[in-house]
Amino acid sequence: MPARILKPEEYYIKTEPYYQAIGDEIAVFESAYRKKLPVLLKGPTGCGKTRFMEHMAWRLGKPLITVSCHDDLTASDLVGRFLINGGETVWVDGPLARAVRAGGICYLDEIVEARKDTMVVIHPLADDRRVLPMEKVGELLQAPDDFCLTISYNPGYQSVLKDLKQSTRQRFVALEFDYPAEDVETDIIVKETGISHELAAKLIKFAHMTRNLKGNGLEEGASTRLLVHAAKLISDDVTPITACHSAIAQALTDDAEMLAAIDELSSSLF
């Protein structure tokens, strides 16, 4: 299958992405959407924030424009910039401006990673004004009713530099995500990858072991996403111990002793 080329605002999700609701997050998001409130997703990495957004985009039938923020992401990367084309300057919209124009869902992933000045750009968009100032062209972009701004943030890093400012966070409706309870997580693994229930349960147990090590040499325990990766390898006939080593242990740490210990844990289980 050749790769398809899409404009960001044409990225509609046609088939339902599998998402297992844990609480009332779907209802809350829908009502925030209706009431034109921006949403903040909190939670550790790989617990389903991005999947949730895809699911909601499908549910609401809106295009989803995702921006993964990094520490060099500036305001112009979001809003847009002038480019030069044949001696003329041409304005090109950034992803945020495109999302506003198209009335889509703009999802700024890991917002705290971005530079501080980007935060300020989203402020007028995140309160009841719902406008995006485009200083360089001297325009204000008024968001249509079906535009929605969502940001995500991982409070676990606990670094002063990577904290979300009160002036930002107090503009959002917040939804908290965490790793799902064991039985739910087992269901997710089974549904996503088709491995047996028993194997999935063992993987979950293994995940809990790595989560026990959080703060004892690991920054984070194994996320649901990593478990899905491992389970996919297992369903393709990789042995569970190898799958845990490649998909989970190596992804969690580079420390040789920690790797050895995690391998010992997985070999104890399987």
Residues that bind another protein (CB under 8 A): 74-76, 81-82, 84, 87, 89, 136, 181-183, 205, 208-210, 212-217, 241, 257-258, 260-262, 264-270
Nearer to another protein (CB atom), residue 50 or residue 266:
266
Nearer to another protein (CB atom), residue 140 or residue 269:
269
Give the nearest distance from C-beta 188 to another protein in angstroms: 14
Sequence-ordered list of residues with C-beta below 8 angstroms from that of 245, at least 6 positions apart, any chain: 259, 262, 263, 266
What single DSSP character describes residue 160?
G
- E-state strands within 39-170: 39-42, 64-68, 80-85, 88-93, 105-109, 131-134, 139-142, 148-153
Give the nearest distance from C-beta 266 to another protein in angstroms: 8
When computed from its CA atoms, the radius of gyration of the chain, rounded to whole angstroms, is 21
Give the nearest distance from C-beta 242 to another protein in angstroms: 13
Give the nearest distance from C-beta 240 to another protein in angstroms: 9
**Looking at this protein, which amino acid is placed at residue 229?**
H
Nearer to another protein (CB atom), residue 59 or residue 238:
238
Q: Cα dihedral sign for 50, 171, 111, 107?
A: positive
Alpha carbons 41 and 260: distance in angstroms, whole number:
34
Nearer to another protein (CB atom), residue 145 or residue 178:
178
Give the nearest distance from C-beta 255 to another protein in angstroms: 9
Nearer to another protein (CB atom), residue 111 or residue 244:
244
